[in-house]
């Protein structure tokens, strides 16, 4: 392959050390432009900050820096307009941008890479991109939390069954269940905020691995790119991918929470439960069964979110065996993170839509809440509180009453007082006051409990927090 004078070939990029370009297989292994072109905005921002710093420190003339800055904006506009000719033989986004810059402004383009290496260049590009994804995740989580909060507010006192082992346990309120997910996603949000704060150090200026002999101002470039400070160790700067791992770890936990609610939607929307109705926007029909309304969006999310966990394991596997500093293995970091970020944002957006659109079947929830002897614990608590029984004895008495009701084919509130006294003679008629599901949830007034007043207090707290 013969390159024209205006088009540097791969071996020209490497300079005089290599006499021949790579063959097609090596090129396919080596090139990353197919995916790292997504870093174009960050790459150009980093280069503009670097050029401005080189001029401010006298390493580059103001004339050259101005030409570079304007040329980079031209490259940016070409990429955004879809008119940029990405070339595989130039390997990556960095060399594609620099080669095009040379075509636009000529010789000054070759001065841009002074006091810089592709090692610190990709480190800053990738860090900027991941930082942007943290911001996007935080925004997406805010919207999702508001959707759950609206559901909680609508049903703060609606009674539904609470489950353990997917068996009816105790009555809770719909609002309380919705707020459980607000708490989960709030923790997810805090992880992204925390990860963003920790990653907000600028590796630009670390060069290949040892820093540079040029009198650069790393604090200037850090400030220009919105970082809190420059990184403090050049070796760590070019070899660190903790920021990507932290983003993936936070994304994995978020994905797990999204998947848990997706599973609940699948169960709740079934004909056997009928707790919720999903809108037509998030369901599909069957090709053969006209009665079907399948929760496909929830099912697909439940599956797709596993990709994020896979990406996390993949990047940990890449990084775990690498000695300092940079190794080409690290080129394989980006596709994993890109895919995980795309999947996360899709999951957040889709779940926000499903939560906002779903309709709870209040009557069905209440009927289900009263089934399965859900107020048995209320009965045990009454025996402790009113008759002074040790809890273990109260537990035994209640279990005997449950067995009696089950044998009679009735629920606990349907037992007669005489039947109850046959198990424990001290039971009084006011025991029935605690056996209704409405009474049960109203009694759970401990902080963080399911009582409607507690739920409304938590809703108000979250309204203020998300304002």
- State the DSSP string of 348-397: HHHHHHHHHH-EE-HHHHHHHHTSTTTTHHHHHHHHHHHH---HHHHHHH
Task: Provide the strand spans (E) within 152-275.
Answer: 159-164, 167-173, 201-202, 229-230
Residue where the block lists tokens 């860090």: 127
Distance CA 291, CA 289 (A): 6
Clarify whether 237 is annotated catalytic. no
3-state secondary structure of 283: coil
Clarify whether 165 is annotated catalytic. yes
Could you tell me the two tokens for 364? Answer: 């069905």
Cβ distance 251 to 308 under 8 Å? Answer: yes
- From 77, 190, 286, 327, the catalytic residue: 286
Element (H, E) at 132: helix 118-154
Cβ distance 189 to 145 under 8 Å? Answer: yes
- From 4, 165, 287, 446, the catalytic residue: 165
Distance CA 425, CA 353 (A): 54
Could you tell me the two tokens for 37? Answer: 């072109």
Cβ distance 234 to 211 under 8 Å? Answer: yes
Distance CA 145, CA 384 (A): 39
Cα–Cα distances in angstroms (integers) from residue 397 to residues 164, 326, 388, 435, in the given order: 22, 68, 13, 15
Could you tell me the two tokens for 217? Answer: 């101002």
- State the DSSP string of 15-59: GGG-SS---HHHHHHH--HHHHGGGHHHHHHHHHHHHHHHHHTTS
Could you tell me the two tokens for 331? Answer: 């080129």
Task: Choose among 305, 327, 333: nearest CA to 129.
Answer: 333
- Report cis status (omega within 30 of 0) of the bond before 262: no
Count of residues in the chain: 467
Q: Which residues are catalytic?
A: 165, 286
């Amino acid at each position: 392959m013969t390159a024209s004078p205006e088009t540097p070939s791969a071996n020209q990029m490497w300079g005089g050390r290599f006499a021949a370009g790579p063959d097609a297989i090596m090129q396919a292994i080596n090139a990353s432009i197919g995916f790292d072109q997504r870093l174009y905005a960050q790459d150009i921002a980093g280069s503009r900050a670097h050029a401005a710093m080189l001029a401010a420190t006298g390493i580059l003339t103001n004339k050259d820096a101005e030409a570079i800055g304007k040329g980079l904006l031209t490259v940016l506009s070409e990429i955004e307009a879809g008119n940029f000719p990405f070339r595989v033989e130039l390997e990556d986004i960095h060399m594609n941008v620099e080669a095009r810059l040379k075509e636009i402004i000529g010789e000054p383009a070759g001065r841009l890479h002074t006091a810089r290496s592709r090692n610190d260049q990709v480190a800053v590009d990738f860090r900027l991109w991941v930082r942007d994804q943290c911001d996007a995740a935080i925004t997406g989580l805010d919207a999702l939390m508001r959707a759950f909060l609206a559901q909680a507010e609508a049903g703060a006192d609606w009674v539904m069954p609470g489950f353990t082992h997917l068996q009816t346990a105790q009555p809770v309120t719909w609002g309380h269940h919705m707020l459980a997910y607000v708490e989960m996603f709030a923790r997810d949000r805090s992880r992204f905020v925390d990860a963003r704060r920790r990653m907000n150090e600028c590796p630009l200026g670390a060069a290949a691995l040892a820093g540079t002999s040029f009198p650069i101002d790393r604090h200037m470039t850090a400030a220009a790119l919105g970082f809190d400070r420059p990184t403090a160790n050049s070796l760590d700067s070019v070899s660190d991918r903790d920021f990507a791992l932290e983003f993936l770890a936070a994304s994995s936990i978020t994905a797990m929470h999204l998947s848990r609610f997706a599973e609940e939607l699948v169960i709740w929307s079934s004909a056997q439960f009928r707790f919720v109705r999903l809108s037509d926007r998030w369901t599909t029909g069957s090709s053969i069964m006209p009665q079907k309304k399948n929760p496909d969006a929830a099912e697909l999310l439940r599956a797709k979110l596993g990709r994020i966990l896979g990406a996390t394991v993949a990047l940990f596997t890449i990084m775990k065996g690498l000695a300092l500093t940079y190794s080409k293995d690290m080129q394989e970091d980006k596709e994993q993170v890109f895919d995980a970020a795309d999947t996360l944002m899709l999951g957040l957006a889709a779940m926000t839509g499903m939560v906002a659109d779903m309709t709870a079947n209040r009557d069905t929830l209440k009927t289900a809440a009263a089934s399965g002897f859900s107020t048995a614990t209320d009965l045990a608590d009454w025996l402790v509180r009113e008759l002074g029984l040790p809890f273990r004895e109260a537990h035994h008495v209640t279990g005997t009453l449950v067995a009696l009701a089950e044998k009679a084919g009735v629920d606990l509130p349907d037992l007669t007082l005489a039947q109850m006294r046959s198990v424990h003679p001290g039971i009084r008629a006011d025991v029935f006051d605690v056996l209704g599901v409405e009474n049960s949830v109203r009694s759970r007034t401990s902080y963080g409990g399911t009582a409607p007043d507690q739920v409304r207090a938590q809703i108000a707290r979250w309204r203020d927090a998300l304002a």
